[in-house]
Structure 1
Amino acid sequence: MTGPRFITFEGIDGSGKSTQARLLAETLMAQGNDVVLTREPGGSPGAEEIRQLVLTGDPDRWSAETEILLFTAARRDHLEKTIQPALAAGKTVICDRFADSTRIYQGATRGDLRAMVDQLHSLMIGREPDLTFIIDMDPETALKRGLARKSGEDRFEDFGLPFQETLRHGFLALAQAHPKRCVVIDGNREPEQVASEIAAYA
């Protein structure tokens, strides 16, 4: 068993990070850890309502600035209602996406808004993960996989392949900037192989 940790999964749409977050949660629970598996946007009732606003509809529904405010509001509610209570209770929290997604999706790819994202994060969130896995995958393959899900929450996939390629570069740059926290995992393999490597780090 390990003490409470906050572990996040990041990556482009369709990279398999949600599957890997679930598999790691199952592995840690099998080892006797108390684990909370959650997601963003979402993870609390209020944040789940905001999720529907930002992940559905026309790609141009919101400006990048409005998205930053919506994601930050959802994250604050998630932090208050789910993440902080779980960590305080000694549980490990595994989250499918966190602030790094906002830094890349809105801050780095839809205008030069990274400073705004970081400022809002500092003011309203003030918490970084203990460990972040970035699932790196070929953007074209990942995009096809993401669209094939037909989840109805594919607003960002609808921006197309160039957007996903920009996202990938953004996440890799983020990993280089934060090498102590971020681990890049090759997602172009069978899920079991990817999960095994992640479990070795976790």
Structure 2
Amino acid sequence: MSGIGNLFVVVAPSGAGKTTLVGKLLELDPHIRLSVSFTTRAPREGELNGRDYHFVDRPTFEKMIAAGDFLEHASVYGNYYGTSKRWIEQELAGDHDVLLEIDWQGARQVEKIFPNMVGISILPPSLAELRRRLEARGKDAPDVIDKRMASAREEISHVLEFPYIIVNERFEAALSDLQSVVRASRVSRAQQAVRLSKLIDEFR
């Protein structure tokens, strides 16, 4: 069910720096398109519908679940999040890549449909540093931070399920590692077998 493009699936606990890394990657590599998730949570200050998320109400989301519209979906802190299956399939049919930012459970769901996805896990250098980053953001109350730390432990316990693991201790080094994974995936045997089929046939 995949086309020429790569499907990059990036997972990380909240506070590991995934959003900043992915944002910089997209800025430097226009060949990658970010999947915009659907969610039932309210927009935060500065967020735009269609850019950050597709904001919908719970009945609409549940109708989409029933219709099989989602590649993956999950309930997080009482709100639904989901990835459009149709959009992913359409985008991968073109000659560009798609990137998803989801959790480990969503990644498992995606892999069942796209077994050639490129899974990337981003880790903080330590749990202590993760807590420091969450507190420094100043966005969450202490009890919410405790919940995020518990979720982080669960997320990190599945890290070895992913073929690529990047530790975000120094941003520039982590970004370079992320770019290296993207570049290597584009010249993999599976990708080049499709792109270079005519050239390969010439040598047979």
Sort the TM-score into its range (normalised by shorter chain).
0.5 to 0.7
1:186 maps to 2:186: no
CA deviations 1:135-160 (Å, max 9, x no partner) are 111223223323443557x9964415
2:197 matched residue in structure 1: none
- For 2:85, which of 76, 79, 83 is the aligned residue? 79
State how far apart, in whole Å, the 2-side matches of 1:127 and 1:167 are.
21
Per-residue Cα deviation, 1:3-50 (whole angstroms, up to 9, x for no partner): 511112111111111112122222322xxx3x2123546596985336
- What are the equivalent positions in structure 2 for 1:1-202 lying under 5 Å apart? 3-29=4-30, 33=31, 35-40=32-37, 42=39, 48-49=55-56, 67=75, 71=80, 74-75=82-83, 78-80=84-86, 82-97=87-102, 100-102=104-106, 121=109, 126-128=113-115, 130-137=117-124, 138-150=126-138, 157-159=145-147, 161-170=149-158, 172-175=159-162, 182-189=163-170, 191-202=171-182
Deviation at 1:128, TM superposition (A): 4.5
2:196 aligned residue: none
Q: Is the 8 A contact 2:9 2:101 kept in 1?
A: yes
Structure ranking higher in strand proportion = 2
Q: Equivalents in 1 of 2:134, 2:57: separation in Å?
A: 21
CA 1:21–1:160 in structure 2 vs 1: closer, same or farther (change >3 Å)? closer
Rg larger for = 2
Give the fraction of aligned pairs with identical amino acids, expressed as a percent.
14
Cα distance in 2 for residues equivalent to 1:155 and 1:19 = 24
Query: 2:198 is matched with which residue?
Result: none
Question: Are residues 188 and 90 of structure 1, via their aligned partners in 2, closer, same or farther at CA, if it must alter by over 3 Å?
Answer: same
Describe the SS at the equivalent of 1:192: helix
The secondary structure found in structure 1 opposite 2:95 is: coil
- After superposition, the Cα gap between the structure-2 partners of 1:89 and 1:192, relative to the gap in structure 1 and judged at 3 Å, is same
Q: Which runs of 5+ in 2 are unaligned?
A: 40-48, 59-73, 183-204
Alpha-carbon distance in 2 for matches of 1:50, 1:92: 29
Pairwise CA distance, 1:168: 1.6
With normalisation by structure 1, the TM-score equals: 0.57
Amino acid in structure 2 at the alignment position of 1:49: V
